Structure 1
Amino acid sequence: MDGTLVDSEKLWDVALQELAAVYGGTLSDDARKAIIGTSMAVSMRIVHDDLGQPERDPQASADWINARILELFRDGLRWRPGALALLRAVRAAGIPTALVTSSTRPLVEVALDTLGRDSFDAVVCGDEVDAAKPHPEPYLTAARLLGVPIARCVAIEDSPTGVASALAAGAAVLAVPAEVPLPPTDGVHQLESLTAADLELLAALLGERPA
């Protein structure tokens, strides 16, 4: 979701830097990049360590971030280039579709006001799995909910954490970097933007693998 479908990473930048300021510090660029695609628990540990305050309560920080990001999400989310057109094409073709995100359910519920509640047959949130990305569980859960073998799924991701999760699950992976560059990776097709993606490309990614 964040950075792949909607340009929400900039809103996370705002919330995270505000939290750092509340704690009397500034979040480093390296820490911010390390946070992208991770679960809230991991993100808060990175923030606390970066600020030199590892003793802080991760849950208290997460609650602060969740409240602030909800405010920012409600002000509106902008689609990433090409994302809406591709999602509409996938849905028009009747292809089963799942949203797999590290964001929590309350945030996702707000984001669905922009994304469309009928845009997905299943939604897997970061607080609804035992192991978050980069563990394969989120994508394996999505495939199970869709009733589709994971080997017949294409995962579209923007972060190293998300790519690792999808690869570990066994999905075909289309990577579209947003906030951080992605190194070339075996088994991962990479595009600069989803404006260059279409149904033919998704079919080709699956055609390269065994049925």
Structure 2
Amino acid sequence: MTTPGLAAVLWDMDGTLVDTEPYWMAAEGALVESFGGTWTHEQALGLVGAGLEDGARVLQAAGVRMPEEHIVQWLTDQVMTQLESERRTGGRDPFRPGARELLRSLKDAGIPTGLVTMSRRRMAHIIVERIGFDAFDVVFAGDDVTRPKPYPDPYLLACEALGVLAADAVAIEDSPNGLRSAVASGAVSLGVPLALSLEGVGAHELWPTLEGRTAEDLRALHARHARKERTRA
């Protein structure tokens, strides 16, 4: 039986496509401290890859006296402001090494792509616009899903929109929470760690970086592991 080839590549955004985690952590700390609380680096790491509403509830428990949605909007505004400031002043480039180049390689190879993020759609569009070309065929954000990562729903919705089976896709993630979502969807899951270790979370492979990688590397990754998954089934 012939194994279907790679039909789509699905990307997480924060920490995978762009290194925005320092902006989120700074915003969380500033918000907690504005209510007289304290926010540690370890607490901030606990929110990496989480849905924003889940994070908002953690911040409420840390003393932030605001409704969940107000917390989400405030944090999003702060991160977007920081991104715009960096862009305007020619400061830090938030894109992770090799990410834009890999997206261009996928585009040139004709492989469909989806962005699957728990950030708000308005922020996702800002990031997508900064890539410099039409990199993504579909975008699913935190305000598009009922059940966030680590549930598989965000990746399954992206696959449905692209008209592909999850088993025929590769999903790229940087956080344990996001990786659990990708694995649960049935996609071949690639971990590219940033702030947290991904050992033992279930990734089919871990790569230290996307730098130097091309569409052919992802085709080969998918072929190695999709064949094994179908054999088990």
TM-score by length of 1: 0.91
CA distance in 1, matches of 2:202, 2:78: 38
* Residue 61 (1) aligns with residue 71 (2): yes
- 1:102 offset after TM fit, Å? 0.6
| 1:169-189 CA-partner distances (Å, limit 9, x unpaired) | 000011000111112344520
Deviation at 1:63, TM superposition (A): 2.5
Match of 1:72 in 2: 82
Cα gap change, 1:24 to 1:54, in 2 (>3 Å): closer
Superposed counterparts of 1:113-152, under 5 Å: 113-116=129-132, 118-152=134-168
Deviations 1:25-45 (A, max 9, x none): 221222211111111110111
SS in 2 for 1:134: coil
**Structure 1, 161-170 or 14-23: larger mean CA deviation:** 14-23
Map 1:51-200 → 2, pairs under 5 A: 51=62, 53=63, 56-75=66-85, 76=87, 77-116=93-132, 118-200=134-216
Please, which moves more after superposition, 95-104 or 39-48? Answer: 39-48
- Which range moves more in the overlay, 94-103 or 78-87? 78-87
Runs of 4+ in 1 over 6 A off after TM superposition: none
Report the secondary structure of 2:211's partner residue: helix
Give the aligned CA root-mean-square deviation in angstroms.
1.8
- Which is worse superposed, 192-201 or 116-125? 192-201
Which digits, 9 at most, give the CA deviation of each residue in 1:48-99, with x for residues without a partner? 22x2x37652222223212222211222352101111111111110100000
- The one-letter code sitting in structure 1 at the alignment partner of 2:161 is L
CA separation of 1:63/1:171 partners in 2, compared to 1, >3 Å: closer, same or farther? same
1:6-26 residue CA offsets vs partner (Å, 9 max, x unmatched): 111111122111111211122
Please state if 1:34 is matched with 2:51. Answer: no
What's the CA shift string for 1:91-140, capped at 9, x where partnerless? 11010000000101111122222134611000000110111100101000
Q: Any stretches of 5+ residues in structure 1 without a counterpart?
A: none
Which secondary structure state, in structure 2, belongs to the residue aligned with residue 102 of structure 1?
Answer: coil
Q: Contact (CA 8 Å) 1:31, 1:47: kept in 2 or not?
A: no
Name the CA distance, whole Å, in 2 between partners of 1:112 and 1:97: 12
| Alpha-carbon separation, structure 1, partners of 2:77 and 2:211 | 33
| 1:160–1:182 contact (8 Å) kept in structure 2 | yes
Residue type of the partner of 1:14? A
Q: For residue 209 of structure 1, what is the aligned residue in structure 2?
A: 226
Structure 2 length as normaliser, TM-score? 0.83
Q: CA deviation at 1:195?
A: 1.3
Change (3 A) 1:47 1:139: same
Return the alpha-carbon distance in structure 2 between the equivalents of residues 162 and 62 of structure 1. 18
Residue 45 (1) aligns with residue 62 (2): no
SS of residue matched to 1:144? helix
Please tell me whether the aligned partners of residues 121 and 143 of structure 2 are also in contact (alpha carbons under 8 angstroms).
yes
Matches of 1:156 and 1:57, distance apart in 2: 32
